[in-house]
A and B are shown apart, each in its own frame.
Chain A
């Protein structure tokens, strides 16, 4: 290959100026490695191109550098390797350190941080206030809930009682019910009770018209007189309307005595309150 004619063909200039196609570039990349003269010619042209360009310098707008530096600010190494090298003969003036608080962005940050702090404090205060409100409300709510539950329980109780009383009234009006009046005995005439005796089932129901409240360890007991002997007809507890007592198939009379809690097998005749005959 004639190196001189290649050098003077314009191929080198075309390559350096970026006007060669891929095949030409591949060719010259191989040639420059093989032929130092071609390498030298390339460098020679590059140098004169650079020299001419530097001589023909024209300046852009003066703000250009500042704009670029600001634009690339985040891309520069944080520790400048040109300074970090510790190379003493490199004396590049350092950019003055601008105190954070004095710079424009600094003051914006300052105001922003003050504003953020104020908002944070206000928010914390509100949080505390709302938390207290919440606590109060929660306590009141719990109290209301308890009240509501107890009212509900009361209503249920009342409803049950009402139902019992309604059933009692139904039984009292039933013509199959034998009504036995038990008036007060001698000395206890103000007392009164009524036995309702179902003639079909022989169940005994009792209505306490008027009996004194027993002591806490005492309880009234109903007796049925069968063939002149007292038979336990059941203990009387607190019930609304009619109290359902025992099933008594046969009886001539009924009586109530005050006995110790739980009842007795034989009546305490001293404490006979009411007595009434059937029929």
Chain B
């Protein structure tokens, strides 16, 4: 009996801005899997990913009024919200961990190592593994870990201009991988 209604994107956005529960339900059903993957590929742990996902949907719902269709697709907008929320979560976790004692820190690093292996096989991050190492590293650091190009330049001791050029080349290559995926 479930007649799945599909909405065009402008219809969906309009209904969401009018606070339609049905539209939100549709949005959730349609995008939860994609956003969950994006978040999981950054935070690495299922439990954390669930927490972030819930906050992301609340944020999307509440900030719907500020979505501007001329700046990009709805998914692109949601993707950026999800990515930022996930990076924020990782950052706050790292901050909390850094306050704990050294013995614990070793465990944390150990655990982080194992999750990294796992997240490399998720979503876009899996595709990034197919890039040349010099590009891959920069895409990882900037897109999945949220470092600014300036920070990466200092961290890797590479000139900012080089970081920018390499990152863009890496992203351009990623686009090719995406289209062939």
Please give the residue numbers on chain A whose beta carbons come within 8 Å of chain B beta carbons, in ascending order: 8-11, 13-14, 16-19, 29, 42-43, 45-50, 52-61, 64-65, 67-69, 71-72, 75-77, 80-83, 89-93
Contacts and interface: CB of A to CB of B under 8 A. Distances in A.
A48 B76 contact: no
A68 B170 contact: no
A75 B65 CA distance: 13
A72 B3 CA distance: 24
Given A19-B143, A58-B36, A92 B22 contact: yes
A52 B181 contact: yes
A185 B37 CA distance: 137
Contacts of B5: 89-92
13 contacts: A9-B168, A10-B172, A19-B167, A46-B72, A46-B76, A50-B76, A52-B178, A64-B32, A65-B32, A71-B54, A72-B58, A77-B20, A80-B22
Contact of B178 (A48, A68, A93): A48
Nearest to A19: B142
Interface of B: 1-3, 5, 15, 18-26, 28-29, 31-38, 40, 49-50, 53-54, 57-58, 61-62, 71-73, 75-76, 79-80, 83-84, 122-124, 126-127, 142-143, 149, 167-172, 174-175, 178-179, 181
Contact of B172 (A9, A72, A90): A9
B167 A14 contact: yes
A47 B179 CA distance: 10
B170 A43 contact: no
Nearest to B166: A10
Contacts of B31: 54
A18 B181 contact: no
Contacts of B2: 93
Contacts of A76: 19-21, 24
A27 B173 CA distance: 22
B151 to A, nearest CB: 12
Contacts of B122: 56, 58
Contacts of A83: 22
Given A71-B58, A90-B5, A92-B5, A45 B175 contact: yes
Given A13-B174, A49-B76, A90-B5, A54 B33 contact: yes
Contacts of B61: 72, 75
B58 A68 contact: yes
A49 B75 contact: yes
A75 B21 CA distance: 9
B97 to A, nearest CB: 24
Contacts of A68: 28, 54, 57-58
B32 A61 contact: no
B36 A72 contact: no
B19 A81 contact: yes
A56 B15 CA distance: 27
A71 B21 CA distance: 12
A59 B36 contact: yes
Closest 8 CB pairs of A and B: A57-B33, A10-B168, A13-B171, A82-B22, A53-B34, A77-B19, A76-B21, A10-B172
A82 B124 CA distance: 33
A192 B122 CA distance: 135
A10 B78 CA distance: 21
A72 B25 CA distance: 11
A48 B75 CA distance: 11
A77 B20 CA distance: 6
B67 to A, nearest CB: 14
A82 B24 CA distance: 10
Contacts of A90: 5
A14 B34 contact: no
